[in-house]
Amino acid sequence: MKKGKLLNSEISSVISQMGHTDSLTIGDCGLPIPKDVKRIDLALKYGVPSFLDTLDTVLEELCVEEIIIAEEIKEAAEQMYKEILNRFENVKVTVVKHEEFKVMTKDSHTVIRTGECTPYSNIILKSGVVF
C-alpha cells in the first residue's frame, strides 16, 4: 500500500505522467469539462470532496510553478480566494476572466471534478520541476 496521502490511483497516475508546464485543473461541481480532456469525477455529493481537500492532497505530490484562477473569485468567494493564495506564496499567480479560464481548461492534461459548491472554486496547476 502507498505510504503517501494520495490514494486515488487515477490522480496518482496523472501526476506521474505530467511533465514540466503540463497543466492539471481542479474544479468545482459546476465547471464545464471539455469533451476531449480526461475527466476524474470525484464528486459524491454537494461539498464532498471539497475543493481545498482535493487541492491539498494533489499538492502533496505535484510540484507547481504557476496557478491560474478566475478573477471573479475575488468578489464571489473572498475567503476561498485567500485560502488559495495562502497555499501558493512562492508561485506565479495568473488571474483571468472566468470565460477565458474555461477555454484554458482545454489544454489541461486532466480535469478533476470535486463536489465543491463555492462559486469559481477552480484552479489550473502548471507543473514545475523539483530540481
- Output the known binding site: 28, 98, 120-122
Annotated active-site residue in 5, 20, 82, 97: 20
List residues forming the annotated binding site for substrate: 28, 98, 120-122
Output the nine-digit C-alpha cell for 41: 469525477
- Burial label for 6, CB within 10 Å (0-12, 13-18, 19+), is middle
How many beta carbons lie within 10 A of that of residue 4, not counting itself?
A: 9
- Burial label for 70, CB within 10 Å (0-12, 13-18, 19+), is buried
- Is residue 20 part of the annotated active site? The answer reads yes
Catalytic site residues?
20
